[in-house]
Amino acid sequence: MHSSFIQPSTQPNAIPILESRRDYAPCHVTLAGSGERSPAIEYNGSYYSFFRVETTQARALQVASRLQQRYQPILTQIPKGYAIWTLEAGAIALPKRLRSTPSVGDESTYRLLMSASQYRSCAVRVPDLNQSLEAIAHQGNYYSRFKTVNTVDDAIAMARRLPTGDMALITKTGPQFSLWIHERDATLA
């Protein structure tokens, strides 16, 4: 590993400076709470979202020192200077294929909703069942829960196996992910 640790005189903890791209993995994450997507890096099993760039190491360390107690920053050396990244507890990495919205030509169309504010829970009835189904409402459509799995990759794999034309949503449900299937003929129960 080509990283170094600089200890500012006013802070008890070292601020990692990652000097090589081999030391971290660039990615995009969904931020906990807000559901916003952000450019990020993965370092030692944690995700850090982009904060800003400073042209000198001294200035980057000065800014990072002010952030240190609350945000646990790290620095990466880049051609323009030093990028400052802040720890994002609870962030979830988006697979590369989720960085853009799937097109209508995909085998199935799905969307990833990371914040509960993007949908509302409800119960629906469908014509072929006598019982109501657990569901969510999103943009005027109803989706019934199909399955809950442990990883977003498992949910995406299931969504991609749906019949052509089916629409699905993937939501974060606690530590797991739920796949919801569009119910075209559903009505509120």
| H-type alpha helices, 72-188 | 152-160
Q: Where are the domains of the chain?
A: 3-92, 96-188
User: Cβ distance 65 to 10 under 8 Å?
Assistant: yes
pLDDT in tens, 173-186: 888 999 898 888 88
| Residues whose CB falls within 8 Å of the CB of residue 124, separated by 6 or more in sequence, listed in order | 132, 133, 135, 142, 144, 183, 186, 187, 188, 189
Tell me the CATH number for domain 3-92.
3.30.200
pTM of the model: 0.49
pLDDT in tens, 130-179: 788 899 999 889 999 888 999 888 888 888 777 666 788 999 888 899 98
pLDDT score for 84: 93
The H or E element that residue 71 is part of is helix 57-71
